[in-house]
Amino acid sequence: MTDTNKNLFYFLMFLAMAGWGASWVNAKVLSSYINEYELIFLRNFFTIASLVPVLIFTRKYFYINKRSFLLAILASVIMIAYMKCYFLGTKFGTASLGGALVTTLIPINTFLIMAFFYGKKIVKKDYFALAIGALGVMTMLNVWSFSSEQIFTIQNMYFLGASILWPALTITSSKITKTSPMVFTLYMYIITSIMVAVFFTESLEFNYSSYDTIFWINILGLAIVSTTFSTTVYFIGIEKLGTNEVSSFIFLVPLFAILFSIIFLKEHLSISLLIGTILTLIAVKILNNIKIFKKRGKVEH
């Protein structure tokens, strides 16, 4: 990849992370229009409609083997549970807290799950990072208030649930074989939509007359920008740049979530949320050996 193409892709990754950060604002706005099952169904409908042309254009054919298809069914169940926590946490809480807490906790929880259940070795630096991460999470949850009513709020429980469910989804998805991650994602969205339509039919009561321009901007933004565009760029980024280089961009997601929440929702940025976010980001950096600033070679004269 040439330097020009690389810089262009860095810009696309920047936009992709902005899209993921904006999804928390989208969900908060949409929570006043629809319930969690309607959100899942509509988001998936527009995501599928926009993802199919992308797969055709990138020649990611629709083949999926039996193993990957069964994993897609399991992933769909986890996805429904995650989306419910994601949506209700944002509905009852703030988009800024959700975007900061969940996105920074996901890589930490993924590391812990891999360590406890898959034998991933924990070294001294990891213990140090986990301690910093725990301190950051406690700060975001405002445990220093020593008030159980403030700590164990319903939104905090939903956010913590989401931060555990997404690593479970990631690990499940990593087990696929001979199937493109984007194709697997498409099948997962299709199966998820079918499950919601079959098992939660009574919850799907679309009141189209109440859907105004604000609604359509946010549902399409959530589906096309935050899901199809951001996910596609992320997967291509892994192929072109490698996992380590792409992972450094994840740091932008909570920052965008906080920024967009302040701009569009007029949410207040508390000192505890800011400090907690910084601490957990430091923990994520140490745990995953992410290098944000790379050393350049010496220039010969």
What pLDDT does residue 147 have?
75
Give the span between the Cα atoms of 297 and 300, in whole angstroms: 9
Domain contains 293: no
- Tokens 């074989």 belong to 177
- Domain count along the chain: 1
CB pairs under 8 A, 24+ apart, for 113-122? 113/167, 113/168, 113/171, 114/171
Task: Using the structure block, give the residue that is written with the tokens 């291509």.
Answer: 236
Spatial contact of 159 and 85, defined as CB atoms under 8 Å apart: yes
Token pair, residue 115, equals 């360590």
Residue 45: inside a domain, yes or no? yes
| Residue 133 domain-assigned (yes or no) | yes
Domain that holds residue 275: 3-287
**Is residue 299 a part of any domain in this protein?**
no
Inside any domain, residue 77: yes
Query: Residue 187's pLDDT is what?
Result: 96
Q: What is the pLDDT of residue 74?
A: 97
Q: Rounded to whole angstroms, what are the CA distances from 296 to 52, 117, 249, 278?
A: 40, 38, 19, 26
Amino acid at 282: I
Residue 161 has which token pair? 């649930």
Which pLDDT score, from 0 to 100, does residue 174 have?
Answer: 87
Per-10-residue mean pLDDT, the chain, length 301: 72 93 96 95 96 88 92 96 96 94 91 86 89 92 78 91 94 89 93 95 88 96 94 83 74 93 93 93 82 48 40
36: in domain: yes
Sign of CA dihedral 288, 279, 117, 171: negative
Tokens of 192: 């998820």
The whole-number pLDDT of residue 292 equals 53
pLDDT at 146: 65
Concatenated DSSP letters for 127-173?
Answer: HHHHHHHHHHHHHHTTGGG--HHHHT-HHHHHHHHHHHHHHHHHHHH
> What pLDDT, on the 0 to 100 scale, is given for residue 120?
80
254 Cβ contact partners less than 8 Å away, ≥ 6 residues apart: 21, 99, 100, 103, 104, 277, 281
Distance CA 247, CA 249 (A): 5
The Cα 277–Cα 58 span in angstroms is 36
User: Does any domain span residue 175?
Assistant: yes
Tokens 């010496």 map to which residue? Answer: 298
Burial 289-300 (b: 16+ CB within 10 A, else e): ebeeeeeeeeee
User: Does 140 map to a domain?
Assistant: yes
